[in-house]
Amino acid sequence: MANETTSTDLAGLVDDIQGEAIMILQDTAGLQELVRTVDTVGTPGKTYDFPIYGAVTSADVTQVAEGTDHSTNKQITNAATAATIEEHVIMAVATKLAVLSSRDDVIAEISVLFASAMLAKMEDDIVGLAPGFTQTVCGAAVTMTVDDWYDAIRQIKAASGDLNQLAAALSPKSYYGAKGLRSLLINTTAANSGLFAQKWLEMGMVDTQFGMPALISNEIAEDVGSSDVAANMIWTRGAIGLHTKDLMDVEYEQDASLRGTQIVATGRWKQIELVDAWGVYFACNTD
């Protein structure tokens, strides 16, 4: 009968872990909020086709005289981009003694462990798309400049990207390093001194740069091709699609010989480039 009590406790433990982990994921969504996200949990199928419509520009609008039949047809194209769900798994083992003696600690620790790992993996997958963008700024053996930021913005605008939904993802060295963003804002020149630089000195981080949120990601490679290059990126929201289908599914199975329980969390998503011209590969020198 004691085993039945333990089983009930473990089932409740898994529910608590899943609930707390989902709350952590929602509260710290990070890059998920900056890409085009579709969640299909509860619906059949594991593939979602992101609709990508062809551009309609001012050149497609014709001035027509009153009473004149306008017969020119603008064909609207839809190039669907398929994102097929992939599974991402992490496992931990909770011994019965640990569960029975310190259940609250186990819930908190495993919840943070799973949610943080899932977020990091999702972030890694998204920033991993950076080298796939055709448009580039900066480059190997090149130090970041203000011109690089505005050139990236210019390229996205030229492709009719929405500048109100811009975002950047930078490696720690590209943010805090001597050749990174810090060097543009904190130095002794009059052009770069002032209130903004003072905020950096006081806060250690200013999360909006050049009109866009700039995230620091530990998942961005800082030594691409063994050449001290960080694989940063600037994009507007529609450049990347994220298809999710249950970000935190937790299951458990008892292991009698181990006297514990395997707790397995599965996250299901797929990231994909949608509009190449709306993203810029911002690879810059770090050392």
Residue 251 belongs to domain with CATH number: 3.30.2400
Q: Are residues 32 and 155 in the same domain?
A: no
> What Å distances lie between residue 47 and 87, 125, 168, 217, 242, CA to CA?
13, 17, 28, 28, 11
Amino acid symbol at 118: M
Q: Are residues 31 and 92 in the same domain?
A: yes
Task: Give the pLDDT confidence score for residue 8 in this predicted structure.
Answer: 41
Pairing state of beta strands 279-285 and 135-139?
parallel
Task: Give the pLDDT confidence score for residue 29 in this predicted structure.
Answer: 53
Quote the domain boundaries for residue 99.
Answer: 2-52+77-127+242-270
Task: Give the pLDDT confidence score for residue 5 in this predicted structure.
Answer: 36
Quote the Cα angle for 219-223-225, to 5°. Answer: 120
Sorted by sequence, the CB contacts under 8 Å of residue 130 that are 6+ apart come out as 169, 220, 231, 232, 233, 279, 281, 282, 283
Q: Are residues 216 and 266 in the same domain?
A: no
Instruction: Tell me the whole-structure pTM to 2 decimals.
Output: 0.79
pLDDT by position in tens, the chain (length 287): 343 333 345 555 566 666 666 655 555 556 888 899 999 988 999 999 998 877 777 888 888 888 888 877 777 666 788 999 999 998 877 777 766 665 555 666 676 777 788 888 989 999 999 999 999 999 888 888 889 999 999 999 999 999 999 999 999 999 888 888 877 766 545 455 556 666 666 766 677 888 899 888 889 999 887 778 999 999 999 999 999 998 777 777 777 777 777 778 888 999 999 999 999 999 998 87
Amino acid symbol at 19: G
Q: Are residues 32 and 17 in the same domain?
A: yes
Q: Which residues face 138 on adjacent strands?
A: 283
**Burial 124-163, CB ≥16 within 10 A → b, else e:** bbbbebbeebebbbbeeeeebeeebbebbbebbeebebee
Task: Give the pLDDT confidence score for residue 272 in this predicted structure.
Answer: 95
Q: Are residues 233 and 247 in the same domain?
A: no
Q: Are residues 235 and 256 in the same domain?
A: no
9 lies in a domain?
yes
Q: Are residues 117 and 201 in the same domain?
A: no
Task: State the Cα–Cα distance between residues 187 and 207, nearest whole angstrom.
Answer: 19
Q: Are residues 152 and 281 in the same domain?
A: yes
CATH number, domain of 187, equals: 3.30.2320
Q: Are residues 231 and 246 in the same domain?
A: no
Sheet with 208-209: strands ordered across = 135-139, 279-285, 229-236, 166-170, 212-216, 208-209
- Contact indicator for 48, 83 with CB cutoff of 8 Å: yes
Q: Which two tokens stand for residue 45?
A: 């199928």
Domain count, the chain: 2
Amino acid symbol at 28: T
